[in-house]
Amino acid sequence: MSAKTLMVQGTGSYVGKSLLTAALCRIFTQDGFRVRPFKAQNMSNNAFVTKEGGEIGRAQAEQAKACGVEPSVLMNPILLKPTTDVGAQVIVLGKAMGMMHAQEYQAFTPHLQSTVTHALNQLMEQADIVIIEGAGSPAEINLKEGDLVNMWIAKHARANVLLVGNIDWGGVFAQFVGTMELLDHEERGLVRGFLINKFRGDKTLLDSGIRWLEERCGRPVMGVIPYFPDVELLEEDSVPEQKRGVRVSDDQIRIEVIDLPRISNVTDFAPLEREPQVSLRYLDRPPADGSLPDCVILPGSKSTVADLAFVRQRGLDRYLNQCAEAGREIIGVCGGFQMLGQQILDPGQVEAMVSSMPGLGLLPVVTTFEKEKLTAQVRGVHLESQLPISGYEIHMGRMRELRDDRPVFKLIGRESDPQGYADGAQSSDGRIWGTHVHGLFDGEAFRRWWLNRLRQRRGLATLPEASSSSSDDVYDRLANAVRPHLDLKAIHRILGL
């Protein structure tokens, strides 16, 4: 039997669609239903690699975990990874199709409709309920013609739409009314209720506004969700403004992440942000006070050559050299690892319009870009600590080490290297190192070992071993926090449960 469909759309970006979709996935899973998440088209450089080696948005991977199922390319059949302000790499069913400019992609979207509907139809055969997430706002009238992710897919799925607004930013009633006014008659008919998200304060102060909204739009408010600062899932987009330039504390380990214009997989560092003994901040220029961190990280990039030019323009190359001379730890992840090398070669101009660029010269490696992207889930061992690690690779650059006696990890996971392979490179003292593995700090054992090594260098007490609680607790905590604030009886009623 085909599944029921509930869709979470928003009055705009950053209203909490991804988080509430994950919460609903876990709530219905807790209640014994077979649940699957779906987002027809995602625009994000935070990607995840499925077991089959396909790329999907990281948010859909988190939502799949909330359902207790393995992430699949069916859950996010189209992923757009921005490389410039007007262009993106187009990923279809997990595989890169190539680069497209915005107008070129909009003209191409009719060819993707059957891909989207086929993926959703397959999920609907696997589940009792499919929770569909929209993107941005369904009222972007300039984008409706090429819509794949909002009302177009809602019509195909005959979805019951919940419209979410962010009250924390103000103007939530105008957001709801304005969105409804810009929808056509058929689209308004799909909207079954409103969710007010990120509320702080005395809820009774909302009562008169809620009554007015329900009378004005003829739709009930099915939930007022509080602002939950302690329940975090991974960010779908790039670094939120509130995380840029966060103040650091001298009694904690200080970690800085270079905030590249095309930063990718910023979710790699979310586990570090949640560590109570870590102060982490993102910066796009050397700090004005001249202070140095315990560690600076060059993250992944969707445009490695362009972001390396940015590093030089901002004087961050000199800052990294200053950190290296002071014995501070420097880490490069994926594109950041490639930047730390001696040279980046792109003879086929796969990524940039230049065929070569000198690297920062801090590691003995040379990267050559190839047309075929390497994507794989990997696991292995950190050679120094002998601790297990796991994560995933997403990169087009192939690395050649000029000195192959100092790898960082031994991995398995690539089909081309079934016997395993070395990954990473490091300086002779081990304080500068790089890897292609995303999600490295998700593993608690390795993360705590690495943080304690930084603490020992500062003369600080080591942290105890990480707790053994399951990461699934995050989704249970989220569901249990959201559930009391939803009118689940009304949601069950519109779904016909």
CATH classification at residue 368: 3.40.50.880
Domain shared by 202 and 249, yes or no? no
> Does 334 participate in catalysis according to the annotation?
yes
Catalytic residue (choose from 395, 436, 438, 485) = 438
> Who's near 448: CB < 8 A, 6+ residues apart?
463, 465, 466
Cβ atoms < 10 Å from Cβ of 84? 14
Given 25, 334, 436, 485, the catalytic residue: 334
Nearest CA among 157, 77, 72, 159 for reference residue 115: 77
> What residue numbers bound the domain in which 94 lies?
4-232+474-495
Let me know whether 218 and 288 are in one domain: no
User: Does 415 reside within a domain?
Assistant: yes
Q: Is the residue at 189 inside a domain?
A: yes
Question: Which token pair is 433?
Answer: 């190192």
* Whether 78 and 145 share a structural domain: yes
Q: Domain for residue 467, yes or no? A: no
- 6 Cβ partners below 8 Å, 6+ apart? 24, 129, 130, 131, 132, 159, 160, 162, 491, 494, 495
Q: Are residues 42 and 115 in the same domain?
A: yes
Do residues 266 and 293 share a domain?
yes
Q: Which pLDDT score, from 0 to 100, does residue 1 have? A: 46
- 453: phi then psi, degrees, rounded to nearest 5: -65, -40
DSSP 168: G
Overall number of domains in the chain: 2
How many residues can be counted in the chain?
497
Distance (Å, rounded) from C-alpha 82 to C-alpha 264? 10
CA-nearest of 375, 47, 73, 106 to 238 is 47
Q: Is the same domain home to 217 and 256?
A: no
Q: What is the pTM of this model?
A: 0.85
Tokens of 291: 């202070």
Run means of pLDDT, 10 residues per run, the chain, 497 residues: 90 94 97 96 92 93 96 97 84 91 89 95 96 95 90 95 94 96 95 95 90 96 87 55 53 92 92 90 91 95 92 96 96 96 87 84 92 89 94 87 80 82 92 95 94 93 69 83 95 94
Per-residue confidence (pLDDT) for residue 34, from 0 to 100: 96
Residue 131, SS3?
Answer: strand
Whether 420 and 488 map to the same domain: the answer is no
* Helix locations, 200-352, DSSP H: 207-217, 270-273, 304-313, 316-325, 335-339
Domain match, 105 and 248 both: no
Residues 41 and 170 in one domain: yes
Residue 20: in which H helix or E strand, if any? helix 17-30
